[in-house]
Amino acid sequence: MHPDRQPHHDAPGRARPWHAAWADALYGDRGFYRSHAPAQHFHTSAQGIPGGGAVLAEALVALCRRHGLTGVVDVGAGRGELLAEVRRLAPQLHLHGVDVVDAPADLPVDRWTRSPGGALLPDALRDLHGVLVVAHEWLDVVPCPVLVRDDHEVWREVAVHEDGTEVLGPVPSAPDLAWARRWLGPQVHRAEVGRPRDQAATDLVGRVRQGLVLLVDYGHTSADRPAGGTLTGYRAGRQVAPVPDGSCDLTAHVAWDSLVDHLGAPAVLTSQRAALLGLLQADGRAGDGKDGTGEDGTGEALLAPVPHGLARADPAAYLSLLARRAALGALTAVGGLGDFGWVLVVVEEPGRGRVAPDGATVPD
């Protein structure tokens, strides 16, 4: 991250509020996502980690089966890597991708819808029924205002030039200032305002008539809110300074506590580690210690072992299970992808109760 970047008090040329520059840099006519595939620049649980996409797809299929869902809608689908894995595992599911570019010609999906990008969703994405809507690393690229405390401890909006030079802007809008006062502790001197992500998530949930909405991303709460913000850039597999010129990805962590509070009681937050282990382990274990990480503090002790006898009886199956276990270990690692947040929102008829990400029913 670049938490200690200090805005200049003045700089030549025209500066714009970060949220506006960010939106153009990613989703404008020459925006980063118009011409760059995410897999070219960074790895996620869905792509770039050997076997990771298959494990994540397995979890999505498990959720669909537990809830009797007939399709998956992937918001921010990239080039459809995750949907292709779901198709391989469950060819009967109806698959619908949503992204700012057209679908690859050979992608095995039933439907693809182009999106305006960022928080804006396609008008046609409405009245969804019987589907799992997954937004995997979508919210972190929803642009939002960036605030910093000035020399008098007053919150100010940060503006930025196309070359990344920052300047102090005006006092934030009343809603952004209210958000900062509620969600940012005294130790925080710079932060990204979570309101646009909260509103985007609420919009997405509101487009589902019946089904599940799963939001997966990296984030923080008041317990571990970074003092200097999280806005950063990625280019060609490397973390770089955030420059809004369309040459790099721009991303910032999600304020989970604000988002869950905004969504209300139907939203359940857990870690990716707990969710995946609860969905995919044969015995459903999601933790065996107070910290939920296993005896060695890494989560490794929670992964079911591959039977050694299978190596002799069926070597191919043994190697396949070893590879799956390694991928599951990568996606549930403490201090890594396992710390990602999973927010599951059940949209259901009254009286049916809500369901936690591991499949357990929670009474209303």
Under 8 Å between Cβ of 321 and 329: no
DSSP class of residue 38 equals G
- Mean pLDDT, contiguous 10-residue spans, the chain (364 residues): 48 83 96 79 63 92 96 95 96 97 94 96 96 97 98 97 96 98 97 98 97 97 97 92 96 98 94 94 44 41 75 78 84 92 87 49 48
As given in the structure block, the two tokens for residue 25 are 């840099």
Q: What is the DSSP letter of 49?
A: S
Residue 44 has a pLDDT of: 67
What is the model's pLDDT at position 39? 61
Strand 232-235 and strand 190-192: pairing? Answer: unpaired
